[in-house]
Amino acid sequence: MTDATVQTIEPKTLESIRTVANIGSGTMGHATALQFAVAGYPVKLVDCSEELLKRGMEHIRADAEEFAQAGLLRAEDTVDDVLSRISTYTDYENGVSDADFIIESIVEKLDVKQSVWQQIEQYAPVDAIFATNTSGLGPTAIQSVLKHPERFVVAHFWNPAHLMPLVEVVPGKDTAPEVVDTTFDLMASIGKKPAKIKKESLGFVGNRMQLALLREAFNIINEGIADAETVDTVVRYSLGRRWNLVGPVASADLGGLDTFYNISTYLFKDMDNGTEPSLLLAWKVQDGNLGTKTGRGFYEWQGEDGQRIIRERDEQLMQQLAEDAAVEDADCKSE
């Protein structure tokens, strides 16, 4: 056993986090790096090539410009100020050596994440917090290869990470409670809406809810009850509107738990309760119709209509962020 293993480590607090290392500059990684830089943190962006880093910085600039147009940068900041806080590296030694909080957004493969975190641990300060932005891999499995598993936690941002407020903070079996608390506080300090999950489970909370809904959505389409567009219309203009204001559990309270109980006595029996992936989904994947990444899924994404849906989604998310910021600013001024 090494000296580092038996060393007593003082847990990080929000106040002691000064520098963030961000591993990965892709779809999720560039957005998390932007979020920390917008909040004022120096960010060390690490990826395996200069080409990937250049592409990531281009996406960061584009997103920062949209933030500026929406009034979501700090009053004293310009886009160039935000970008100046981000430095790029292709090696862990220089990328993480002085970081207080290290977050990783790389491929969703357990062995790859374990290998990367073992390399990071060789160079990171012994008290740095390690956070993975996995969307479903268990933190216990990833942290099991570390010398200090107690400092490892999940900080699951939702895509698009710079526009979606939620971050699920999930402990592994060996994660110290103080690490969960500090990560939660850090996410709140950069403007996110963190959710502190009590214990790990496959899919955490958000993806369990999402896949439960999708299982029945795919079943409805496969059974010919409604097509994909109709299913989306029903959710957007009923559950989507309601759940954006109060969650499903509060909605059940408001609707009357006796009512929901009575409905469940007959409806559950008629719903899909299978434990295998949807056949409809499997057929889409087998045919290579994967959604936006291939241009076709349940919808056509190659034409203007597909791009319009994405654009309108992002515009609405940006508008909601601006409204959230305005409310928080008003609350601060009234205190």
Assess contact for 66 and 318: CB atoms under 8 A. yes
The predicted-structure confidence for 50-104, as pLDDT tens digits, reads as follows 999 999 999 999 999 999 999 999 999 999 999 999 999 999 999 999 999 999 9
**Do 3-196 and 206-302 show the same overall fold?**
no
Q: What is the pLDDT of residue 7?
A: 57
Domain positions in the chain are 3-196, 206-302
Residue 207: other Cβ atoms inside 10 A: 17
Question: Left (φ > 0), alpha (ψ -120 to 50) or beta: where does 296 sit?
Answer: beta
3-196: CATH topology: Rossmann fold (3.40.50)
The predicted-structure confidence for 179-202, as pLDDT tens digits, reads as follows 999 999 999 999 999 999 999 999
206-302: CATH topology: N-(1-d-carboxylethyl)-l-norvaline Dehydrogenase; domain 2 (1.10.1040)
Question: Left (φ > 0), alpha (ψ -120 to 50) or beta: where does 40 sit?
Answer: left
**pLDDT above 80 for 299:** yes
Assess contact for 54 and 32: CB atoms under 8 A. no
DSSP conformational letter for 235: I
In 3D space, the residue among 129, 155, 157, 25 whose CA is nearest the CA of residue 87 turns out to be: 25
Give the distance, in angstroms, between the CA of residue 199 and the centroid of all CA atoms in the same chain: 17
Q: Where do we find the tokens 């609350």?
A: 331
Hey, what are 136's tokens?
Answer: 């479903």
Hey, what are 260's tokens?
Answer: 């929901």
Hey, what are 324's tokens?
Answer: 């959230």
Please, how many CA atoms are within 13 Å of residue 150, restricted to the half-sphere of its CB? 14
Helix, strand, coil tally for the chain in percent (to 5): 55, 10, 35
CA–CA separation, 280 vs 254, rounded Å? 34
In 3D space, the residue among 277, 279, 23 whose CA is nearest the CA of residue 131 turns out to be: 23
CA–CA separation, 281 vs 289, rounded Å? 10
Integer angstrom CA distances of residue 39 from 76, 85, 113, 204, 308: 12, 10, 27, 26, 30
The pTM score is 0.91
Hey, what are 99's tokens?
Answer: 């970081």
335: confidence class by pLDDT, cuts 50, 70, 90: low
Hey, what are 118's tokens?
Answer: 């073992």
The angle formed by the CA atoms of residues 116, 143 and 94, to the nearest 5 degrees, is 35
**pLDDT above 60 for 282:** yes
**pLDDT above 90 for 6:** no
In 3D space, the residue among 175, 21, 178, 181 whose CA is nearest the CA of residue 102 turns out to be: 21
303: confidence class by pLDDT, cuts 50, 70, 90: confident
